[in-house]
Amino acid sequence: SLCSLQSSLKPHPLCARSSSSPGATAGMSEQNTPSSDQALYQAPPSVRGMTVLDREAFTQTVTVPALLVPTGLVNRALKSLKKLTLQRPGVKRVVEEEGCGETHKLVLLDPRVSSLDAIAGTGLQDLGVASEIRHFALRLTYDNLRSEEVLRAVLPDGHDVTSGFSRVGHIAHMNLRDHQLPYRNLIGQVIMDKNPGVTCVVNKTNSIDSTYRHFSMELLAGEDNMVAKVRENGLLYEFDFSRVYWNPRLSTEHERIVSQLRREDVVVDVFAGVGPFAVPAARRGCAVFANDLNPESFRWLQHNSRINKVTDKVTAFNLDGRDFIRGPVRDLLPDLLRAKTSVHVVMNLPALAIDFLDSFRGLLAHEPGVGVACEGTLPRVHCYSFSKDDAPQRDVVRRAAASLGAELDGVCSVHMVRNVAPNKEMLCVSFTLPKEVVFSDTHPSSGEKHTHFLRFTLYHTIFIYKAL
């Protein structure tokens, strides 16, 4: 799940549900003391620059507006007031009023309620409830603060605290900015405190390695356990997050591609990772040939196939993507095409996948007879790429065509997957492999050795078994 640390101390939109917690304790009500807190909580100056979290230092007593309500009308008052009541983590909206015994309660209101005009139309005044706005001294502790309030109080005045994190199982993955790094351990602890279920917070320390698709990370807070368990689209995945690639923002894209598959289709996943395309495709009934160069991804791909009970449908490879296409894929395609089997090739390595399209040039030049039998059944390729171009769709089509060696205008579709960063898009270009590319005599490297024949029997046998 994606979470974000907002950069404002203005009162949060009045839409959150509050819960009861002993973290907030109430004081005495005051009938004639106006509140001077525009944002309800203003942190003590002493916490500015804190690098080791001291929760007690954030304790403060603030003043909030309140209504004195007969006990029997409290539930009706809460329903009528709706979003006008105080909404804050761990704070009770209904508290005891000294001297009233069990006959009346105080309903705490949002600090922006300053007069009876704010509750006009609620119907409470007709019941004689809203005769005056009282003011109540409320003791707030660290437990009652939102993460953005804590971080705004700690970081140097004027510094932007906006930062995001991705939730991967029990792990919160952050990408801190330079000015936040001196406070990184405190930030990690705050994120862990304020997000139930997060027991480990890490910070990305470099860009994604394009060879094995993982990045270096630093533990900020919590347990040093990087083996995550994640559910996506009804399936369970387990992996070492520090050694493989996983992006929780791509679940919709995984589902979009898998929804295009039919039970009898064959899926070739060139950069499979831990299986977010391969495993659901296999569950759909497809025979899947999944590859990843990263030995750790290969291992977890096999593991995820086992725990989701699709090992009979998934054949895993640990090869370079180009070797996978010009080896196992080339050996399997002739029989698949003769049988008019629908084949989908998924290439999800946005930084480099387009550069691998030249591997399809002359892929079946050694099988000229297959070309006659495969009309209309050549593989459908789904190739991912990043683009910083002003016209990203045109850009990826142009680059894909250049690598493939064939015109794609008018014969492909482009799907905008997500905005990765300002002026950087992730896209998927889908097209049927042109016949003139697959059966041409043009090869990406003239000195390539054709050693596929000895592998043919093995891969052919595997395919027949998986397709049963």
Number of C-beta neighbours around residue 279 at 10 A: 30
Q: Which residues of 394-414 are buried (b: 16+ CB within 10 A; e: fewer)?
A: ebbbebbbebbbbebeeebeb
CB 301 within 8 A of CB 292: yes
Helix axis angle, 453-467 relative to 330-338, nearest 10°?
50
State the first-to-last Cα distance of the chain, in angstroms, to the nearest integer. 37
Distances (CA, A) of 64 to 23, 288, 397: 17, 61, 59
CA–CA dist 399, 413 (Å, integer): 14
Distances (CA, A) of 28 to 62, 99, 138, 247: 12, 10, 8, 50
CA–CA dist 194, 144 (Å, integer): 10
Residue-by-residue DSSP string for 270-329 = TT-TTSTTHHHHHHTT-EEEEE-S-HHHHHHHHHHHHHTT-TTTEEEE-S-HHHHIIIII
Q: Which helix (H) or strand (E) holds 425?
A: strand 424-432
Q: Which residues have CB under 8 Å from 371's CB, separation 6+?
A: 364, 435, 438, 439
Q: Which residues are annotated as a binding site for S-adenosyl-L-methionine?
A: 254, 292-293, 320-321, 348
How many helical (H) and strand (E) elements, i.e. helices and strands, does the chain have?
12, 19
Q: Output the furthest CA–CA distance in the chain (Å, rounded).
A: 96
Query: Which residue from 52, 60, 59 is spatially nearest to 187, judged by alpha carbons?
Result: 52
CA–CA dist 413, 220 (Å, integer): 42
CA–CA dist 332, 345 (Å, integer): 13
CA–CA dist 80, 118 (Å, integer): 12
CA–CA dist 303, 449 (Å, integer): 33
**What one-letter code names the amino acid at 111?**
P
- At residue 455's C-alpha, the angle toward residues 367 and 328, to 5°, is 70
Q: Which residues are annotated as a binding site?
A: 254, 292-293, 320-321, 348
Task: Indicate the DSSP class of residue 234.
Answer: T
- At residue 186's C-alpha, the angle toward residues 182 and 191, to 5°, is 125
